[in-house]
Amino acid sequence: MIYYKTDEEIEKMRKSAQLVSKTLGLVGTLLTPGVTGKEIDRAAEEFILDNNAVPGFKGYGGFPSTLCISPNEQIVHGIPKDKPFKDGDIVSIDCGVILDEYYGDCAFTFAIGEIEEDVLTLLRVTHECLYNCIKKAKVGGRLGDICYAVQSHAEKEYKYGVVRELVGHGIGKALHESPEVPNYGRRGNGIKLKDGLVIAVEPMINMGTRKTKHHKDGWTVTTADNKPSAHYEHTIAIRKSGTEILTTHDYVVEAIKNNSNLHNLDFTIKS
């Protein structure tokens, strides 16, 4: 069953969405060659707790950490490690928080230092997929319109692999609610989009094959060919007055501008 949100609930979700966005902004100030995923994870958890919220991922299904930290060929659900990041790494970081009973969920792929041009293109295209699908999230439209917007841009235009097994989702008092929001589909198919639907849209795009590998830790998912993968996510509310992006990457953009260890991804400067 799909749970449509009231105006009051959406305002509560906006607050949780803003906090998760600020947490990713903090991450952007800390990422540098030599820092470890575990160090960043501890800082993010402390920040969330200091803001009267709790990590949304830690303990969820047994997940051990506050952040999902997935470098390079890891697609999602990477567990923070003690291994230091290095120049040339891309790092997808997914964060969730619970504030006043409601979840916020947001993700961003950071680039440390000098990055190969084809990898930067992957990041740019995946980021474009995120905003392409948000443009199709309109009252009266169909869920398949959102899904097709991702697939057509990444797969048909750039021949990238669009991950099938992992999807976006409804969100509210539960992290994962109906409906599922795949990154592939047909225009005009699926449920009709109605006022009050809040979903997390999250393109996960691979440079090579769309096929994935699930690791023995029960969480980490990598590309089957070990080529890089990118992941961007927003929590959005579909309204009659126009779709609202509840999360923001503005805090990340500001952090990147002020962190000389990160590649200046100018395509991120987008509302």
Nearest-angstrom CA–CA distance, 133 and 243: 11
Average the pLDDT over 217-243 and give the result.
Answer: 97
Preceding amide of 228 cis, omega within 30: no
Domain assignment of residue 140, yes or no: yes
Q: How confident is the model at residue 269 (pLDDT cuts 50, 70, 90)?
A: very low
Amino acid at 258: N
Average the pLDDT over 110-119 and give the result.
Answer: 96
Cα 233 to Cα 70, 87, 197, 249: the distances in Å are: 14, 24, 16, 9
Q: Which residue has the higher pLDDT, 268 or 31?
A: 31
What is the pLDDT, as a whole number, of residue 69? 98
Cα 30 to Cα 23, 39, 171, 216, 231: the distances in Å are: 11, 9, 28, 29, 19
Average the pLDDT over 205-209 and give the result.
Answer: 98
Domain assignment of residue 2, yes or no: no
Average the pLDDT over 46-59 and give the result.
Answer: 98
Domain assignment of residue 252, yes or no: yes
DSSP 16-41: HHHHHHHHHHHHHHH--TT-BHHHHH
What is the pLDDT, as a whole number, of residue 170? 98
| Residues spanned by the domain of 139 | 7-268
% of the chain residues with pLDDT over 90 = 96
Domain assignment of residue 151, yes or no: yes
CB–CB of 201/8 below 8 Å? no
Domain assignment of residue 246, yes or no: yes
Amino acid at 211: K
Q: pLDDT tens, 123-153?
A: 999 999 999 999 999 999 999 999 999 999 9
Is the pLDDT confidence value at 196 over 50? yes
What is the pLDDT, as a whole number, of residue 266? 73
Q: List phi, psi (to 5°) of 85.
A: -75, 155
User: Dihedral of CA 180/104/221/73: which sign?
Assistant: positive
What is the pLDDT, as a whole number, of residue 105? 98
Nearest-angstrom CA–CA distance, 201 and 134: 8
CB–CB of 235/268 below 8 Å? no
Give 176's contacts (C-beta < 8 A, 6+ positions apart): 169, 170
Domain assignment of residue 168, yes or no: yes
What is the pLDDT, as a whole number, of residue 267? 63
Q: pLDDT tens, 149-173?
A: 999 999 999 999 999 999 999 999 9
Q: List phi, psi (to 5°) of 15.
A: -65, -45
Give 227's contacts (C-beta < 8 A, 6+ positions apart): 73, 206, 207, 208, 209
Q: What's the structural domain count of the chain?
A: 1
Domain assignment of residue 248, yes or no: yes
We report the CATH number of the domain holding residue 71 as 3.90.230.10
Is the pLDDT confidence value at 22 over 60? yes
What is the pLDDT, as a whole number, of residue 271? 39
Domain assignment of residue 56, yes or no: yes
Q: pLDDT tens, 244-264?
A: 999 999 999 999 999 999 998
